[in-house]
Structure 1
Amino acid sequence: MRFRRPPQSSIDQVHISRDGEVAIIEFADPAYGTVNLTLGPEINTLTDHEILDVYNDIVAAQEASIADPANRPIEIPKGRPQIEWLEDFQQWSARGHVLKCEVSDTEDGNLVFYFDDKELDAEAFLQLIRPFAGWGMRVTFMDESQIHDEPVVIVRDPDDDT
């Protein structure tokens, strides 16, 4: 089951326990997973309300960061490399937050992704996007000649009469 991102909460929406220096915050709503919040030795002096205040402050800071215009996705300019090989990790890494590629398949039916002049098989592509686990992703399919242009998207259900 995939859990939703836990929101700011009130004390009646959570159960808080402790394990050493970690506060364990369990939500009454099963749609949210458990949060393990490391607080250090000061945990012994904090009430459940104070622990929840710390947690809520963290969520508020995350929401503010997401909303901050300075934290928008970075797109690498056309002609500059979108991905780079990380020798230490023996894998490709995205240089920005927007990836533009062409999708093809081989004669034996395996998927191939082309980023600039680099060819990645499906496993290498999955490793490329693994650091973004927990993020959202929007995939827009378009003609390869247009991948560097921001598309004008039409929002509608294809089954609707238009």
Structure 2
Amino acid sequence: MRPRRPYITTLADVTISRSGESAVITYGDPAVRPVVFAIGPDIDRCSDAEILARFNDSLYAARAKTEGRQHVVVEIPRGHQQLDYFAPAGQWVPRGAVLRCLIDDSAEGEPVIHIDDHELSLREFGGLLRTYAGWGMRIVFVEDDDADPPLVEIRDLENGEAAHDWR
């Protein structure tokens, strides 16, 4: 089941429990993971309705912060490392939100992803992707990892029509 983001809701659609100074908000919809929502030392004096009102207000505020604004992602320029090694997790993490990479295969026929000077197994690449768990992703296949972003057309393909074109 595809996970869904938490959304503004009512008490009829969630259960609320307490854990220390935080509330655990569990949606009736199993596609939404429980949310641990920090309240503070006054949590014992808050009703479930007050906790949910604060939580819904935080969702409204987050939405208002981005409304009317364009999402801008950072691509690390060529010649600069796109990855950092995060030792506590034992894995590579992206520095920017765009990765230029090349797909290859090993002698054993397993996928290998090349990013800069790094050769990542499919498992290592999956770990790198996990740093963006909950986000969406668009994969654009280009001629090689040095390619400039291509023009993207949004349309369906006819039977047998190629997904790439050079104009």
- What TM-score do you get using the length of structure 1 for normalisation? 0.79
Aligned equivalents of 1:129 and 1:84: distance in 2?
Answer: 13
| Residue 111, structure 1, aligned to residue 127, structure 2 | no
Q: CA deviation at 1:75?
A: 0.9
CA contact (8 A) 2:106 2:112 kept: yes
Aligned equivalents of 1:110 and 1:103: distance in 2?
Answer: 10
Query: 5+ residue gaps in structure 1?
Result: none
CA contact (8 A) 2:3 2:134 kept: no
Structure-2 residue corresponding to 1:2: 2
Amino acid at match of 2:48: D
Q: CA deviation at 1:7?
A: 0.9
CA contact (8 A) 2:82 2:115 kept: yes
Structure-1 residue corresponding to 2:57: 57
Q: CA deviation at 1:4?
A: 0.8
Structure-2 residue corresponding to 1:48: 48
CA contact (8 A) 1:78 1:148 kept: no
Q: CA deviation at 1:139?
A: 0.8
| Residue 144, structure 1, aligned to residue 140, structure 2 | no
Q: CA deviation at 1:111?
A: 0.9
Amino acid at match of 2:80: R
| Residue 22, structure 1, aligned to residue 22, structure 2 | yes
Aligned equivalents of 1:21 and 1:85: distance in 2?
Answer: 33
- What TM-score do you get using the length of structure 2 for normalisation? 0.77
- After alignment, is 111-120 or 31-40 more displaced? 31-40
Structure-2 residue corresponding to 1:128: 128
Q: CA deviation at 1:20?
A: 4.8
Structure-1 residue corresponding to 2:164: none
| Residue 99, structure 1, aligned to residue 94, structure 2 | no
Cα RMSD (Å): 2.8
1:142 partner SS? coil
CA contact (8 A) 2:113 2:120 kept: yes
2:131 partner SS? helix
1:132 partner SS? coil
Greater helix content: 1
CA contact (8 A) 1:85 1:93 kept: yes
Change in Cα spacing, 1:123 to 1:28, as seen in structure 2 (3 Å) is closer
Q: CA deviation at 1:96?
A: 0.7
CA contact (8 A) 2:15 2:26 kept: yes
Q: CA deviation at 1:160?
A: 6.8
1:98 partner SS? coil
- After alignment, is 120-129 or 12-21 more displaced? 12-21
Query: 5+ residue gaps in structure 2?
Result: 162-167
